[in-house]
Amino acid sequence: MRRRAVFLDRDGVLNRAFVRDGRPHPPASLAELTVLPGVPAALARLSAAGFRLHVVTNQPDVARGTQTRETVEAMHAELVARGLPLDGFHVCYHDDADACECRKPKAGLLVSAAASEDLDLAGSFMVGDRWRDIEAGRRAGCTTVLVDYAYAESLTIQPDIRVRSLAEAADWILSSMAP
C-alpha cells in the first residue's frame, strides 16, 4: 500500500513569514528563522499517524540574488536540528520568469516528492498559506488546506478547508482519517 504524505509549505506554515504590504516573505537569515507555535507537536502527531512529511517550498529570492542557496539549506538543516520530524525538503530556487515545472503553483515539487517515495498523491494533503500552495496541491490531486492569514492576494482556487495554524490543520487531517 502506498504511503500518504502531508506536503508543507515552509514560510507561514512551519516558520514565521514576514508580511510586508500584505504579502508574506521568508526570513532573510538563519537568525530570523522562528518556528511557529504548535508546529513541533502538530508534526509529531502527523508523523505518528504514519504520514510522510515533505516540505515543498518556492525560494525565488535565490534566483533574484537576494538570498543564497546555502542560507536556505542552513534553514532546513536548522529545522531538522530542532527536532522537527521532516522526511524531505523539495525546493524551487527559480523565479516565475524561469517557467520551470517545479515552481508552485505547478505541481512539480509534489509529483517529484511523491515519485521519490512512491507516495499516494490522492490520499495526501497539501498545507500552505498562499494561493500557489493550494493550486499546486489541487493540480497534484491532493486535498488542500489553507492556513489563512488573510494576505492581500486572491485565491485562484478554493481550498478544501481553511484553518488558522498547522496545529488546526493537523487536527482536521487526523479527524479525516477516522472511520
DSSP state, residue 90: E
Exposure string over 17-29, b if 16+ CB within 10 A, otherwise e = beeeeeebebbee
- Judge contact between 69 and 62, C-beta under 8 A: yes
Q: Is 9 a catalytic residue?
A: yes
Amino acid at 59: Q
Nearest residue to 151 via CA among 123, 134, 129: 129
- Judge contact between 162 and 148, C-beta under 8 A: yes
- Judge contact between 43 and 86, C-beta under 8 A: yes
Amino acid at 25: H
Q: Is 11 a catalytic residue?
A: yes
3-state secondary structure of 8: strand
Q: CA–CA distance from 130 to each of 58, 79, 101, 108, 152 (Å)?
A: 11, 21, 18, 17, 10
Catalytic residues: 9, 11
